Amino acid sequence: SSSAPWLKYYGDTPQHLKYPQKTIYEMVKAAADKYPKNYAYEFMGKKTTYAEFMQKIDAA
């Protein structure tokens, strides 16, 4: 389409993804419950686990 010329490069990748009907909090909490020691993110060289991330979220 001329309004979205990048779509021709998508190949088999869908244009839209289906997301669960959950809040971001619920999705992060589920990941933290399942993978507490995995890294949720890295920012400026500091890695934060999902367990640490949830502590920060719940303290906010």
In a domain, 10, yes or no: no
Compare 6 and 26 and report the one with higher pLDDT. Answer: 26
Question: 37: domain range?
Answer: 17-59
In a domain, 2, yes or no: no
pLDDT > 80? residue 2:
no
In a domain, 37, yes or no: yes
Q: Determine how many CB atoms are found less than 10 A away from the CB of residue 59.
A: 6
Measured between its terminal Cα atoms, the distance across the chain in Å is 44
In a domain, 11, yes or no: no
pLDDT band at 34 (very low <50, low <70, confident <90, very high): very high
In a domain, 9, yes or no: no
Cα torsion 13, 17, 18, 22: sign: positive
- For residue 36, give the 3-state DSSP assignment: coil
pLDDT > 70? residue 1:
no
